[in-house]
Structures are given as C-alpha cells and as structure tokens.
C-alpha cells in the first residue's frame, strides 16, 4: 500500500494522469498546448501580437502535420496510384544515371563562366573555397569522428600566412601556397598532439578554445597582424607571367584545387589510412586492438584536414587581397561544420554539396539574409533529430 | 589593489560558479555538454532587462525596488526554466540513444537559434539595464566593494547552499541516483525523464539568476554574451571536475579570481583568453579536474 502511494506521488496525482491521457489521445489538444507554449515563450521577447501569431502558426502547422500523418495511414492512400508513382520515381534513378553525375557536373562547371554574370561567378568561387574547407573538415570530423569546432582558425592560419609572406617578405603566391598549407598543418598538429589525449567532447571544446585564442591574438597583435584593421594589398596569383587576379581565371584556379582536393579525399577514404580513420570513428578501442595506431592516425587526420584549410585560406586571401580577423570567427567554424553535417558525415560528395548549398542558398534568399543563422540553427536540430546521416546518406560517426 | 581584485574576482567567480552548476548537473546525468547553456544565461540577462523595464514603466521600481527586483528575477527564472525544459524536449531527448556527436551538434544548432532569435526580436544593438542601484560603496582595506557586489556574492552563496540542501531531498536523491545509473534508477521506480527535465529546469533557472545579476552589474547586454560566458562557465566546471557540484562552485570562484588578477597584473586585452588557457592546461594535466573522479572508458 505504502509503495503504491509513493508510486502515485512520484508519477503525479490523478489530475496530472488525466491531462496526460488527454494529451496523448487528442492531437488537436496537443497542437493547441504546444502552440500556446511556443507563444508563451515568445511573449516577453516580442509582443502579444507576435505571440498570438506564433501560437496560431504552430497549432495550425501541427494540426496539418497530424492530419497528414493520419491520412498517410489510411487504406485509400496506401492503394492510390499517386503513392505508387512517388515510390517508383524515387527508385528509378539507375546506376548509369548516377555514375554520369560527376562528368556532367564537371562539364557544367567548366562552361559556367562563359555564361553567367560576374556576381554569380563570385559566389561560385566562394562556394569552391568553402568546398575545400568542408573537404578538409570531412577528414577530421567525418572520417575520424573528431569534432573540431575551431576549424576557421586553420583557415585563418593559411590566409594570414600568405598575407604576411606576400606583404612583408614579398614572396609570390606559388611558393607561399605550400608554406601556408604547411603552416596550417603545423598548427593542426601542435593543437592535436596535446589535445588528442582527450575524449571526444573535451576535444571539441579545446578546438573551440584554440579558435577563440587565435582570433584574440589576430585582433591584438598589432605589430604583426595590424589588429582588427587587417592586412591589405595582398598580390593575386600569377602563372607564367599571366595574372590570375581577374574573376574568370581565378574561378578556374579554384576549380582545379577543388578537383584536386576532391580526388585526394575520395581516394584516401578508400585507402588503408582512410579505413583506419573510419575504424577509429566507429570504435577506437576495437580499432586499436586490431593494430591501428590510433594516435598516429588521428594526428594524420588533423594534419591532412588542416592542410586543405591552409590552401583554402591562401586562396581566400589572394581572392580578397585583404584579410582581417572578422572573417575567421566561431560563426565561420560553425558554418563549415554545418556544411559537413548537412551533406552527410563522412561523405566527401555530401560535404561538397553542403558547401554549395550553404553558400548559394543565402545568396538566392537575399530577403532572408537576417534569418539565415536562425534557420541554420533550426535546421541543424531538425537534421539531427530526423536525418542524422545527412542529406546524402553516408554513415554518421559513433 | 590585490584586495580590490579579490573582490571583483569573487563577484565574477560567483556568477561563473552558478552557470557552471548547470553544465555540471547536465553532464553528470547525461554526459552531454549542453552547449546552449550559455545562451540560457543570455536569455536570463535579456529577460531581466525586459521585465525590469516593464516594472519601471509602471512605476513599481520607484515605489518598491526590492519587490520589483524580486519579481524580475522570479519571472526570468520561470521563463528560462521553460526555455531549458523545451530545449531538452525538442533537441536532446530524441537523441538520447544517438551517437555522441549528434546531441552536441544539435546543441550548437540550439545555440545558433537562440542567439539569432534574441537578435531578431530584441535588435542587434546593446541593451541597457533600466535601473542603477546598489552603487554605494564601502571601503575595506584599500578596496572598495559596492552594495551590488555584496548582493551578488551573497546570492551566489545562498544558491550554492540551497543546491547542497536540495541534494538531500527526495528529488535530489532521485537525481543523484540517475546520475549514477539511469537504468537502475528507472528499475527502482524513479521517473528518469522527469529527473532529467528537472535538471535542465534547475540549471536554466540558475543561469537566469546569473544573467540578471550580470546585466545589473555591467549595465549592458548583447546577444553574444552567452557564448563567451558559456565557455567560461564550462571551463569552471571542468576545472572543478565536470559532474561534481562542489567542483563547479570551486572552479567558478577560482576562475573568477584568476581572471580578475590576470587582467590587473598581466594584460587586460587577453582577458577572455585566460579561461581558454586555463582550460587547456587543466585538460592536459588533470582532465578529471580538481574534485572530479576519473572515469575509465569501456568497450
């Protein structure tokens, strides 16, 4: 008897039980309660009108959602020709069509500059640079499962390395490029050597802290980095006497690097090293018991991933001819990470697709510019809840 | 000079400790770094400004300042707890058995969302705390301490004490049991989901109190404060040993003291970097923190 009374106390009295039953049974009631809750949460931050509007939108949206779900369960829908058509449509992409996607894409990217306006080409160049970053981060987060929240720091190292080498020492783009990439790689190793002793989420925080410290240093070391004013007058690259500074040649330069990075990342994924990384992601202890030197492989992942960030940084500095700490904040790291996750963790094609989506979408939805990060935040949560493997499949890290 | 820095450090440290408690309690029970916790603190600061603004507009602040402050804190606590509760239900609960990366990423999503949500609804410019109070100073040993600082230190101490007492209550015991082993706790009849919700609510409520106090202390608030404060509080939690409640208190106070003395004697430009440097050093030397226990990872 006593235990029963205790049970009732712990699980709420009769009234609470009734409410819960009602809540579980009636979708309409549920929608109204959730809508009212959302409105209540918004109330202090905005006004009564906005709160009421949110209440109605959420409640109506949920009612529609429940309605659609109920409709999906009905016999009529299951037998309908439309549903069969939808399913057949989804399955009809043949392997031949799939294997021709890459050559077609490449051809499109080769001829695009002849057809589009400079503005769109500029966006595409940025998408290319972000693709490099996303591919680099794919190695670290996607293959090896090491969450890196300060990736923009390595991007910054590459950009500042080229900026300083060029403006202070007068070294050209091509000799600087390997130096910038190695500088980023070295920074990655310097961070990774101590940090890899830590478990996953601690590592994330340490990389975050590293990004923040680097940002502070760039902002405050006036004699070297010129502080928040940044470094201007960086020379564009040139090849055999030709300047590649104009938009079209520069586009092809970035395209070449994206192709190089793409090939190397896809190839390395299926190599001995790539499989080692994936084994570590799936279960580090099991991987170690199979003779994989986890520390060595993780260091390698950091070095390889940050290498591409360094290249991307140098390309960015040469494109803008100007760098400042503004461009390398936590938001940037978050954006790159979102690209990798959006496309599908561990899938290089997904990372590239994510980079293109997240660079091009905000340009297309100019009016929604303000809401960009808000939508990105909601998107990340929804993606994790409903499709953790990302848009293009691939298997998530464990 | 030193004494002055100690007072400033203790004030800051008290606030860090309160926010750190939220991190440590959630980590203890779910092994999840609740990245969005700093944003709840930021929401608390904004709510403090919003509600005190309303009370000032209707004249309550002038008529009865303590009552207005009390109501402001109460409302901020209520709304922050509601936000914390909702956050857990929407972004973490569906991911409880997902791979470790998933809830962390969803936490980053929540954090981005809340920052931009506040920016869009409240504007991108700094907000000013509507009322100045507690600025009368007392001089002790070459150091000045304002009434507000005394209030902050006292409230922090009170919160820590009551949390300590809470651990002995029925729900406190349930929480400790769930921290040790969720499955076993559920088997002996503890409502584990309820305990987790409660943990988030308490953490968010504490962050709200900290947010209101900081808004009053600095007088200015913007939508970015949650990020840096969150990292610092997390550092405090790790410093003391994550998962350990007394550890979070100790870590917060130590971090506050380190920061204020560092800013005074080393360099104030790098003030925000100290927390990170301390964090790096702790994680490298003693990842389990000062009061934490070492946990072995199993296959």
The confidence band for A397, taking pLDDT boundaries of 50, 70 and 90, is very low
pLDDT digit string, tens, across residues A161-171:
999 988 888 88
What stretches of B167-286 show up as alpha helix (H) in DSSP?
Answer: 170-180, 182-187, 192-218, 225-240, 245-265, 271-285
| Distance in Å, alpha carbon of A174 to nearest chain B alpha carbon | 35
Q: Which residue of A has its CA nearest to B271?
A: A216
Which residues lie closer than 8 Å to B129 by C-beta, 6 or more apart? B48, B49, B52, B215, B216, B218, B219, B220, B221
Q: Is A395 left (phi over 0), alpha (psi -120 to 50) or beta?
A: beta
- Is the CB of residue B249 less than 8 Å from the CB of residue B240? yes
Helix axes B170-180, B2-30, angle to 10 degrees: 70
Closest partner CB to A370 (pick from B105, B120, B227): B120
Instruction: Tell me whether residues A45 and B118 touch, CB distance under 8 A.
Output: yes
Closest partner CB to A384 (pick from B106, B118, B121): B106
| Distance in Å, alpha carbon of B144 to nearest chain A alpha carbon | 30
Least confidently predicted of A224-233, A256-265, B35-44 = A224-233
Q: Is the pTM of this model over 0.80?
A: yes
The DSSP-derived string for B274-290 is HHHHHHHHHHHH-TT-S
pLDDT digit string, tens, across residues A68-111:
887 777 777 767 777 676 666 555 555 566 667 777 888 888 88
pLDDT for position A13: 54
Residues in chain A: 398
- What ipTM did this prediction achieve? 0.84
Instruction: Tell me whether residues A199 and B297 touch, CB distance under 8 A.
Output: yes
pLDDT for position B5: 85
Best of B87, B94, B109, B269 to mutate (most A CBs within 10 Å, chain A): B109
Q: Which residue of A has its CA nearest to B299?
A: A285
Closest partner CB to B95 (pick from A46, A199, A384): A384
Best of B44, B116, B237, B242 to mutate (most A CBs within 10 Å, chain A): B116
**What are the structure tokens assigned to A334, written together?**
């978050």
**What are the structure tokens assigned to A368, written together?**
């929604």
Q: How far is CA A126 from the centre of its chain?
A: 15
Instruction: Tell me whether residues B272 and A330 touch, CB distance under 8 A.
Output: no
| Distance in Å, alpha carbon of B130 to nearest chain A alpha carbon | 16
More confident residue, B182 or A25: B182
Return the sign of the alpha-carbon dihedral for residues A158, A160, A165, A170: positive
Provide, as residue numbers in chain A, all residues whose Cβ is less than 8 Å from the Cβ of B49. Answer: none
Which among A324, A310, A319 has a CA at the least distance from the CA of A226?
Answer: A324
- How far lies B78's CA from each of A86, B71, B206, in Å? 47, 10, 11
Closest partner CB to B99 (pick from A330, A379, A398): A398
Q: Is the pLDDT of residue A12 over 60?
A: no
Q: Which residue of A has its CA nearest to B234?
A: A205
Provide, as residue numbers in chain A, all residues whose Cβ is less than 8 Å from the Cβ of B101. Answer: 141, 145, 147, 200, 345, 396-397
Closest partner CB to A212 (pick from B113, B276, B284): B276
| Distance in Å, alpha carbon of A243 to nearest chain B alpha carbon | 40
| Distance in Å, alpha carbon of B112 to nearest chain A alpha carbon | 5
Neighbours of A79 (CB within 10 A): 9
In chain A the domains, ranked by start, together with CATH numbers, are 2-91 (no CATH), 101-386 (1.10.3470)
pLDDT for position B75: 94
Give the DSSP H or E segment for A145: none
Four-point Cα dihedral A134, A138, A142, A147, nearest 10: -70
pLDDT for position B293: 67
- Is the CB of residue B114 less than 8 Å from the CB of residue B207? no
Looking at every residue in chain A, the average pLDDT score rounds to 82
The confidence band for A194, taking pLDDT boundaries of 50, 70 and 90, is confident
Closest partner CB to A397 (pick from B101, B103, B279): B101
Instruction: Tell me whether residues A381 and B227 touch, CB distance under 8 A.
Output: no
Report the C-alpha gap between A107 and B43 in whole angstroms: 50
More confident residue, A136 or A51: A136
Averaged pLDDT, groups of 10, chain B, 299 residues long: 84 92 88 88 93 88 85 94 93 85 85 90 85 74 82 91 89 90 90 92 94 90 86 86 85 89 80 79 77 59
pLDDT for position A14: 66
- Contacts of the segment A200-203: beta carbons below 8 A, 24+ positions apart: A200/A145, A200/A146, A200/A147, A200/B100, A200/B101, A201/A147, A201/B32, A201/B33, A201/B100, A201/B104, A202/B238, A202/B283, A202/B287, A203/A146, A203/A147, A203/A148
Report the C-alpha gap between A283 and B274 in whole angstroms: 34
Q: Which residues pair with B144 in a beta bridge?
A: B139
Closest partner CB to B33 (pick from A45, A205, A397): A205
The DSSP-derived string for B86-136 is HHIIIIIGGGTTS-THHHHHHHHHHHHHHHHHHHHHH-SSPEEPS------
Report the C-alpha gap between A139 and A307 in whole angstroms: 11
pLDDT for position A398: 35
- Is the CB of residue B103 less than 8 Å from the CB of residue B118? no
Report the C-alpha gap between A313 and A173 in whole angstroms: 12
Neighbours of B188 (CB within 10 A): 9
Provide, as residue numbers in chain A, all residues whose Cβ is less than 8 Å from the Cβ of B108. Answer: 149, 334, 337, 377, 380
Neighbours of B218 (CB within 10 A): 11
pLDDT for position A19: 67
Best of A330, A384, A388, A389 to mutate (most B CBs within 10 Å, chain B): A384
pLDDT for position B297: 52
Report the C-alpha gap between B161 and B167 in whole angstroms: 10
């Amino acid at each position: 008897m006593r235990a029963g009374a205790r049970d009732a106390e712990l699980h709420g009295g009769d009234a609470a039980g009734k409410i819960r039953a009602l809540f579980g049974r009636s979708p309409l009631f549920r929608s109204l309660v959730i809508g009212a809750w959302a409105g209540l949460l918004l109330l202090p931050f905005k006004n009564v009108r906005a709160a009421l509007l949110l209440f109605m939108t959420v409640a109506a949206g949920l009612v529609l959602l429940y309605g659609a779900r109920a409709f999906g369960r009905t016999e009529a829908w299951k037998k309908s020709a439309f549903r069969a058509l939808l399913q057949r449509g989804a399955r009809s992409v043949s392997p031949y069509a799939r294997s021709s996607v890459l050559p077609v894409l490449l051809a499109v990217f080769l001829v695009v500059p002849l057809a589009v306006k400079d503005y769109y080409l500029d966006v595409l160049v940025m998408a290319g640079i972000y693709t490099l970053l996303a591919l680099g981060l794919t190695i670290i987060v996607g293959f090896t499962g090491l969450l890196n929240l300060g990736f923009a720091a390595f991007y910054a190292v590459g950009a500042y390395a080229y900026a300083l080498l060029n403006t202070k020492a007068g070294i050209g783009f091509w000799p600087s490029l390997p130096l910038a990439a190695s500088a980023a790689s070295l920074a990655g190793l310097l961070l990774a050597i101590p940090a890899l002793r830590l478990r996953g989420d601690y590592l994330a925080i340490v990389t975050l802290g590293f990004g923040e410290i680097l940002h502070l240093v760039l902002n405050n070391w006036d004699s070297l980095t010129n502080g928040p004013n940044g470094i201007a007058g960086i020379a564009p690259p040139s090849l055999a006497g030709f300047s590649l500074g104009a938009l079209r040649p520069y586009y092809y330069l970035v395209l070449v690097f994206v192709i190089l990075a793409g090939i190397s990342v896809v190839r390395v994924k299926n190599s001995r090293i790539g499989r080692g990384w994936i084994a570590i992601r799936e279960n580090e202890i099991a991987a170690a018991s199979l003779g994989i030197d986890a520390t060595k492989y993780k260091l390698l992942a950091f070095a390889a991933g940050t290498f591409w960030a360094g290249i991307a940084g140098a390309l960015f500095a040469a494109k803008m001819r100007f760098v400042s700490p503004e461009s390398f904040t936590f938001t940037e790291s978050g954006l790159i990470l979102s690209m990798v996750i959006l496309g599908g963790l561990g899938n290089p094609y997904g990372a590239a697709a994510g980079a293109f989506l997240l660079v091009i979408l905000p340009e297309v939805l100019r009016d929604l510019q303000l809401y960009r990060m808000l939508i990105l935040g909601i998107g990340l949560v929804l993606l994790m809840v409903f499709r953790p493997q990302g848009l293009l499949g691939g298997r998530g890290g464990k | 000079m030193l004494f002055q820095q100690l007072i400033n450090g203790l004030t800051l440290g008290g606030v860090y400790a309160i926010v750190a408690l939220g991190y440590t309690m959630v980590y203890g029970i779910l092994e999840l770094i609740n990245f969005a916790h700093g944003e709840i603190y930021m929401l608390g600061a904004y709510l403090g400004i919003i509600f005190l603004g309303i009370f000032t507009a209707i004249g309550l602040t002038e008529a009865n300042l303590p009552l207005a402050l009390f109501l402001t804190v109460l409302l901020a606590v209520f709304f922050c707890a509601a936000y914390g509760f909702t956050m857990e239900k929407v972004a973490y609960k569906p991911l409880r058995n997902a791979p470790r990366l998933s809830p962390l990423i969803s936490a980053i999503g929540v954090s981005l969302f809340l920052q931009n949500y506040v920016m869009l609804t409240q504007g991108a410019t700094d907000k000013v705390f509507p009322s100045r109070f507690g600025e009368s100073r007392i001089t002790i040993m070459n150091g000045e301490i304002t009434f507000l600082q005394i209030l902050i230190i006292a409230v922090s101490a009170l919160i820590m004490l009551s949390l300590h007492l809470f651990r002995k209550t029925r729900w406190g015991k349930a929480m400790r049991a769930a921290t040790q082993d969720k499955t076993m706790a559920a088997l002996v009849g503890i409502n584990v989901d309820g305990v987790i919700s409660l943990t988030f609510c308490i953490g968010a409520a504490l962050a709200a109190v900290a947010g209101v106090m900081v808004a009053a202390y600095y007088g200015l608030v913007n939508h970015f404060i949650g990020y840096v404060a969150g990292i610092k509080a997390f550092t405090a939690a790790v410093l003391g040993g994550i998962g350990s409640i007394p550890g979070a208190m100790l870590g917060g106070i130590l971090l506050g003291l380190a920061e204020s003395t560092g800013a005074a004697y080393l360099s104030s430009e790098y003030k925000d970097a100290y927390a990170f440097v301390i964090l790096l050093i702790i994680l490298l030397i003693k990842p389990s923190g000062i009061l934490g226990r070492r946990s072995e990872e199993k296959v």
